[in-house]
Amino acid sequence: MTRVLAIVAIIVAARSARADDGALGFRIAGGELPLADTRPTVVSIAVGTEQELAHGWRGFGEFEYMWFEKDKLTTGSGSRVQLGVRHVLAERTIESTIRLYIDGELGGGMALVSNTTVQAVPDGFAGLRLGYDIVEHADRSPSQKLQLELSLRALYVPDGLGLMGGIGVWWGN
């Protein structure tokens, strides 16, 4: 898994020099994640970038800040770095300006969390993104695509399986 993440990171970094096929965005999410024999509620905000790799595959990287709650009390926080790939599973374009899509994604990362103790938590994830693009066809627009999406991720961490869902906005080309 580490080698796959390293290869994706190298490809994304190499392709990031091409500004014509990338995007920036953010996501607000929530869910449950098993940590040290507990299942706290997690609320997070993430920022990310993605680049077209080849043949409909996109590589992405994210930085996410998380807050943990148990019984309506904040019990900790953490930050996580994720790398992954996504690919279109289904899509439909309406009047050449709106594209509806379902993407599958796969990746992994590492979090540094402070819940009851400070610990490094590796993870792997698989998920779906459901959304739509609004495509601007004017050459004068520096950002020719606005993407709104819902995401659902199953995350595997050493203490078990967690689930996160969120809403995100991406813009770029």
Give phi and psi for 52, each to the nearest 5. -65, 130
- Residues 130 and 88: their CA atoms lie apart, in Å, by 10
Lowest mean pLDDT among 11-20, 92-101, 119-128, 150-159: 11-20
Residues 141-163: what's their mean pLDDT?
87
Is residue 162 within 8 A of residue 32, CB to CB? The reply is yes
The model carries a pTM of: 0.80
Residues 6+ apart with CB under 8 A from 142: none
Q: The CATH number of the domain where 28 resides is what?
A: 2.40.160.20
Residue linked to tokens 């920022």:
47
Q: Mind listing the pLDDT tens digit for each residue in 91-141?
A: 998 887 888 999 999 999 999 998 767 889 999 999 999 999 887 665 555
pLDDT score, position 131: 94
SS3 assignment, position 104: strand
Lowest mean pLDDT among 16-25, 46-55, 73-82, 101-110: 16-25
Judge whether residue 17 has pLDDT over 70.
no
Q: Given pLDDT bands bounded at 50, 70 and 90, which one contains residue 73?
A: confident
Q: What is the mean pLDDT of the chain?
A: 85
pLDDT score, position 12: 52
Q: Which domain holds residue 77?
A: 2-172
Per the structure, the count of domains in the chain is 1
Lowest mean pLDDT among 54-58, 132-136, 139-143, 145-149: 139-143
- Residues 56 and 152: their CA atoms lie apart, in Å, by 20
pLDDT score, position 11: 55
- Residues 92 and 100: their CA atoms lie apart, in Å, by 5
